[in-house]
Chain A
Amino acid sequence: MNSDGLRLTGVALRLGAFALADVSLAADRGEVLVLLGPNGAGKSVLLETVAGFHRPLRGRVEIGGRDVTRLVPEARRVAYVLQNFALFPHLSVAQNVAFGAMHGTGNRASRHGARARRVASLIERFGLGAHADRRPAALSGGEKQRVALARALATDPELFLFDEPFSALDALTRDALRDELASFLREAKLPALYVTHDHAEAQALADRIAIVDGGRIVQLGAAAKVFAAPRNARAARLLGVENVLDGIVRAHAAGSVVEIGAPPALFVPLDTGRAPIGSKVAVSLRASDLALGPPGIAAMAGEVAFDATVRHVAQQGPLTRLRCDAGVAIVAWATTAQLRALAIAPETRIGMRCPQDAFHLLEG
């Protein structure tokens, strides 16, 4: 990896009853690494450790090629963006941005001049000129985000840290700001560590994902790979996989298959690795991989098809969530057009099909 980025090596930490255990990860320049995990998993503690608020028992934190493990937060050159952007409420927009530009080298006069120029240029770059004298309480969500980013950039940071900045915002604002942030991060070309428990947010922003649970990194990899192949059932749930199905490994002429659900069971051809015949396994299946059709729908080459009885129908935003019984509980999504075409209602029968490789074997 590039030495300009972030590198954590074997970082261990204890905070009361909570512990981070030998965390190692890296984020290159221009890369967004999302830490995804449930509440209390240790994501924020890990972020605070990178920022310098906790001193690790063991391990090393490097930012931009510097060993910062023993440095205080103010010497680390990290841009820290927190929930609801944590703008200083008693300072104007310009003063908020200037706060980040205060700590430079040179004599007082030259520092003051350079700071004023830097603040002015950042305010202009983020389109905040009309709001420079306003207090944060008078700003919209988008304006707050731009002030937070401008303030953070004023320190000339080497790393961005985001701790659930959108968690207090309404869904509409959140979606808009997420897009704005994604394009900002693409342009900034700095490494970024982004904490969230929201898989949709992770999917929208991440180049790579680290799943954090119980103070450990349980899976780390390219976002697409992690989303496609969660390591275990807990990771699958965190990544928003709707179906985690129990099955049994059965012998088959062409290799192994996994038998899922009560008879008539689903038989899914799957490479079960070293799992012995007859052993219990868990399999993930994303509802978005399921195509819906009439009962008795035919499987095409490389597909699995089966019928199911709809048990529960719930509108969720533009789609409808179907809870079905196919000998095992299966969740699927339907469009309004599909609801009409297939006359889907509770207790109706429908057909489903999906590619065989949509099923993914999970570790026990």
Chain B
Amino acid sequence: MRRSALFLLFWLAGSLALAFTVIPLVELVAEPGVAGVVRAAQLPDVRSAIGLSLGAAAVTAAIATAIGVPLAWVLAGRRFPGKGLVEAVIDLPLTVPHTVAGIALLLAFGREGVLGAPAAQWFGLRFWGTFAGIVVAMLFVSLPYLVNAARIGFEEGVDPHLVKVARTLGARPGRVFVRIALPLAWRGIMAGITLTFARAISEFAAVAMLAYYPMTAPIRIYEMFLRFGLGDAVGAAVLFLIIVLVLFVVLRHFAFGRAGQRGFGR
């Protein structure tokens, strides 16, 4: 009897959590109807904004993977002085309000910024109001997701014994990383890429501060809302949501597969 009551309580809590997420999205999708979504899809500004968001989020995920996976491997497998500090720095963007992050990025990557000025001078790379700026803002807020998920992937997927055996079999650390660690941690890394992509594509504030133009989808939708009201913004929002959800489901399938099907039993 007590067990049934507990089950009911957990079921209710879970249902509330799901309803909280699903109801606004259902409301959103129901609002414009198919015609509204098609109309939004026919607008070149909306299409280019969604394309820009997808492209920038993909580039962000690629850069995050390139720089975040090696860091995650080091954090998973090594003890070194200051490791706690490195971990805190990695997680910092999760706690910084994104408008604040945007201002910080503006100061660092702006025309006179400590990184922006030399990048412009030496490589001709500008961040204020450019694709590169969008990627920088997206990367700042999403990198922790990649590092943390990949780290968990390495910690859970790669038995330290395998690394030691591989070394004694003649493999240098780089080869161990490529042949043993990466294949065994790939689900964690894919989960990180999925989360990074999702976080990057949904970013508004930090992107708006550093690169309001060219407009990504969230900024374009916000702009439409300000200029034309809710009616026009909803169609674009639903179109963007559908595209992101399809991508998310595909990525999630690769990342998580059938993992997580294990239960506690009765």
Q: Residues of A at under 8 Å CB distance from B?
A: 48, 51-53, 72-74, 76, 78-80, 82-83, 86, 88-90, 99-100, 102-103, 151-152, 154-155, 161
Contacts and interface: CB of A to CB of B under 8 A. Distances in A.
Contact of A80 (B165, B172, B179): B165
A90 B169 contact: no
B183 A90 contact: yes
B184 A89 contact: yes
Interface stretch (B19-27, B45-53, B156-164, B220-228): B156-164
Contact of B170 (A48, A89, A102): A102
Contact of A73 (B168, B179, B184): B168
A197 B165 CA distance: 21
Contacts of A88: 162, 166, 180
Contact of B161 (A73, A79, A86, A102): A86
A76 B169 contact: no
Given A89-B184, A90-B183, A79 B171 contact: no
Contacts of A48: 164
A17 to B, nearest CB: 14
A51 B168 contact: yes
Contacts, number: 60
Contacts of B179: 99
A83 B164 CA distance: 12
Interface string B165-198: 1111111100000011001100000000000000
B167 A73 contact: yes
B159 A79 contact: no
Interface of B: 159, 161-162, 164-172, 179-180, 183-184
B167 A74 contact: yes
Nearest to B183: A90
Nearest to A100: B169
Report whether over half of chain B's contact residues are helix, strand or loop; otherwise say mixed. Answer: helix
Nearest to A73: B167
A89 B161 CA distance: 12
A155 B169 contact: yes
Contacts of A74: 167-172
Contact of B169 (A52, A53, A99): A99
Given A90-B183, A90-B184, A82 B164 contact: yes
B166 A99 contact: yes
A171 B166 CA distance: 28
A103 B167 CA distance: 11
Contact of B165 (A72, A82, A90, A154): A82
Contacts of A53: 164, 167
B161 A82 contact: yes
A78 B184 CA distance: 24
19 contacts: A48-B164, A51-B167, A53-B164, A73-B167, A74-B169, A74-B172, A76-B168, A78-B168, A80-B165, A80-B168, A82-B161, A86-B161, A90-B184, A99-B169, A102-B170, A103-B171, A151-B169, A152-B169, A154-B169
A330 B179 CA distance: 56
Contact of B159 (A76, A80, A86, A155): A86
Contact of A100 (B170, B183, B184): B170
Q: What 3 A-B pairs are tightest by C-beta distance, nearest first?
A: A103-B170, A80-B168, A73-B167
Nearest to B162: A86
Contacts of A154: 169
Interface centre among B162, B165, B168, B180 (most CB of A within 10 A): B168
A263 to B, nearest CB: 55
Nearest to A151: B169
B27 to A, nearest CB: 45
Contacts of A72: 167, 172
Contacts of B166: 88, 99
A155 B170 contact: yes
A86 B180 CA distance: 12
Given A80-B169, A86-B162, 9 more contacts: A53-B164, A53-B167, A74-B172, A78-B168, A86-B159, A88-B180, A90-B184, A154-B169, A161-B168
